[in-house]
Structure 1
Amino acid sequence: MKQMTIIVPCYNEQAAIPLFYQRLKKILGNYVDEYAGHQWDLLFVDDGSTDDSLTQMERLQVSDPEHVHFLSFSRNFGKEAALYAGLENADAEYVGVMDVDLQDPPELLPQMITYLDSGDYDTVATKRDSRKGEPIVRSFFSKMFYKLINRISQTPIPEGARDYRLMNRKVVDAVLAMPEVNRFSKGIFNWVGFRTKVLTFDHQERVAGETHWSFKQLVSYSFEGIMDFSDKPLTIASVVGGASFVLSIFSLIFIVIRALVFGDPTAGWPSLVSIILMIGGIQLFCLGIAGKYIAKIYLEVKQRPVYITREQK
């Protein structure tokens, strides 16, 4: 009989937590216990919520201590830290990751378990087949992100990929062997490899509440993913810097020839100032890219913990 733990990161999800538990209890209770013969539990990770999310977790843990466990952070460390904490604290043979808002359909779990039980796969991942119902602007930029990162990174990430997946112990241990502070789990899961089965599903609406990801946060998260799995931005900065240097040489030759042929008129200083500003802007742009990578190095070498636990049951 195998043990399965489902990790559920939560941040201000007091309304969704009991609904998530009821649905998972019904699905896993009917399938896992009765047919597959596995033991299962849920590990809620409270990412420093400011509402009653932790209270909901405590109530569920008291009412069902066999199937519900939780850990609570000392403050908000972000979803990536919550995922890592869950993986570190799950010692089961099968470990899954799901969002509490039920946008990851739990009805896929029996199928995912079957694939792992077959021994043909080490992990079962998921991706959305369509983004119907999602805001058009967010959907457009999401597609552009996946196109860009798959073009410049050696680690392919399928468009619409979700964190929702079920892994065996080998995959979990491989992910935990990467204790980096700057984490982009979608990339890490694909980087470690292993035999993977991908299941698709249509866009699901949240069961309760509203998303905590603003457009600005999603853009920032996208940049994190690009920089964590590609050094191409540094190459681009070098190319842009080299190109601007070559253009400046041609501009200098042009200015010298013009001065020899037509003299040295004072007219034209606006264009000269524009060129200086343009080159200066390119330099600052390139320095900004290099600075982002240096900042990541700075965060890693300090070796601060990915998260701090305040309470655990």
Structure 2
Amino acid sequence: MHSMDPLPLLSLVVPFYNEEEMIGQFFDRVIPTLEAIPGIRFEIVCVNDGSRDRTLQQLIFASRQDGRVRVIDLTRNFGKEAALTAAINEARGDLIVPFDADLQDPPHVIGKLVDKWREGYDVVLAKRVDREADSLLKKWTAVSFYHFHNDVSDVKIPENVGDFRLFTREVCDALKALPESCRFMKGLFAWVGYRTAVVEYVREARAAGKTHFSGWKLWNFALEGITSFSTLPLRIWTYLGLSVALLALSRAIYLAGRTLIYGVDVPGYASLATAILLLGGIQLIGIGVLGEYIGRIYLESKGRPIYLVRQRFEGAAPHV
């Protein structure tokens, strides 16, 4: 904590992308909730992730109305993980709380996170105990992803825990020291560790607007998470190749023995074509898995920044 300020500063960090329908409701609900939490000061760090609607203008207006609102405008849409990274990097607080603009995570839970932090924890996770607001497909895929990821990865991600959580400045500095450009924030949060507690809550339906995560984006997001924290998909192909080689060797021994005993018969082409197509498909899948990892090595080797900031707005004055 800052020696000159007896009250800790809480930074609520929020990525925004085409959320003009939500912004009014967001500040109307979040600011009174934060003001009601005893013993803290707060700031709201809003990152505009290349929105194409009036999101930026409304955020700037909000910052001019309330000096505790800061706006970071990125040069284009870099994606939620990059925008969340930007928000965390810009946060000045002793406590940092990543939060979504859609208000599916109720703001009043922030106070419960702070209460749990006062008990001496470095990280307080917000765990969803009821996902009735999500579709059946989304609930099923989420459960499947968590189970599969935790089975194949050394870094275990808590189930039904999103980005919504509280962590201290020490944890924030540890996250900022992680250099990778292909970011899977849930995995990075889990990787740094620290003393962790859990607060359970019920997730609400989206207050307005529509989600920006399609099924295809969620699939790619899941691939990012698995390949970022596990090499098991690569190792599987070693075992699969060994199994196929042993099967082929066994088949060769069987055919040689049968030929010596019964003579040569006329083979069928259907079984041969099937075997060729099967092995070709297996090889292409293996090459695809290799490509996923090589692609990430390629992106990391470029050393490009995760995001670029166009302007910062605090109060009435923009800062480049």
Q: TM-score range by the shorter chain?
A: over 0.9
* Of 105-114 and 164-173, the range deviating more from structure 2: 105-114
Q: CA deviation at 1:281?
A: 1.5
Q: What does residue range 80-229 of structure 1 map to in structure 2 within 5 Å?
A: 80-118=81-119, 120-229=120-229
Structure 2 partner of 1:16: 22
The amino acid of 1:61's aligned partner reads S
Counterparts of 2:22 and 2:130 in 1: how far apart (Å)? 23
| CA distance in structure 1 between the aligned counterparts of 2:140 and 2:116, rounded to whole angstroms | 33
Which of 2, 11, 17 does residue 5 from structure 1 map onto?
11
- Identify the match of residue 50 of structure 2 among 36, 48, 51: 48
Following superposition, the deviation at residue 254 of structure 1 comes to 2.5
Distance (whole Å) between structure 2 residues aligned to residue 137 and residue 111 of structure 1: 30
CA deviation vs aligned residue, 1:213-239 (integer Å, no higher than 9, x gap): 011111111111011111111111111
Supply the distance in 2 between the matched residues of 1:133 and 1:122 (Cα, whole angstroms).
Answer: 29
2:70 is matched with 69
**Helix, strand or coil for the counterpart of 2:15?**
strand
**Please, which runs of 5 or more residues in structure 1 have no aligned partner?**
none
Alignment deviations for residues 167-192 of structure 1 (CA, whole Å, 9 cap, x no partner) = 11100011111121111111111110
Cα shift readout 1:117-155 (whole Å, capped 9, x = no counterpart): 34x101111121122132112211111111111111111
Counterpart residue number, 1:242:
242
Matched residue type, 2:141: F
- Matched-pair identity in %: 37
- Does the 8 Å contact 1:238/1:286 carry over to 2? no
In the TM superposition, residue 44 of structure 1 has moved relative to its aligned partner by 0.6
Residue identity in the other structure for 1:310: R
State the AA in 1 paired with 2:23: I
Give, in angstroms, the shift of residue 311 of structure 1: 1.6
Q: Corresponding residue for 2:271?
A: 271
Shift of 1:261: 3.5
Instruction: Tell me the amino acid that sits aligned with residue 288 of structure 1.
Output: G
Alignment of 1:267-306 (within 5 A): 267-306=267-306
Q: Which residue of 2 aligns with 1:59?
A: 61
8 Å Cα contact 1:155-1:187 kept in structure 2: yes
Q: How far apart are 1:264 and its partner, in Å?
A: 3.3
The Cα of 1:112 is off from its aligned counterpart by 1.5
Q: For each residue in 1:64-105, what CA deviation from the matched residue of structure 2 results, as whole angstroms up to 9, or x when unmatched? A: 1x2111111111111000111011111221111000111111
Kindly state the Cα deviation for residue 269 of structure 1 after the two structures are TM-superposed. 2.3
Alignment of 1:30-49 (within 5 A): 30-31=36-37, 35-36=38-39, 38-49=40-51
Counterparts of 1:133 and 1:85 in 2: how far apart (Å)? 28
- Of stretches 174-183 and 269-278 in structure 1, the one that deviates more from structure 2 is 269-278
Q: Residue 106 of structure 1: SS of its match in structure 2?
A: coil
Inter-partner Cα distance in structure 2 for 1:73 and 1:80:
13
Which has the larger share of helix? 1
Measured in 1, the distance between the counterparts of 2:116 and 2:270 equals 68
Asked whether the 8 Å contact 1:237–1:286 carries over to 2, the reply is yes
Structure 2 letter corresponding to 1:23: R
C-alpha displacement of 1:200: 1.2
Q: TM-score, normalised by structure 1?
A: 0.94
Q: Give, in whole Å, the separation in 2 of the partners of 1:227 and 1:197.
A: 27
Structure 2 letter corresponding to 1:179: P
Inter-partner Cα distance in structure 1 for 2:220 and 2:79: 13
Cα distance, 1:63 vs structure 2? 1.2
Task: Tell me, yes or no, if the aligned pair for 2:106 and 2:203 is still in contact at 8 Å.
Answer: no
How far the C-alpha of 1:116 sits from its partner, in A, is 2.2
Amino acid in the other structure paired with 1:187: G
Structure 2 alignment gaps of length 5 or more: 1-6, 314-320
Give the whole-Å Cα distance in 1 for the aligned partners of 2:258 and 2:123. 67
Contact 1:241 1:283 in 2 (8 A): no
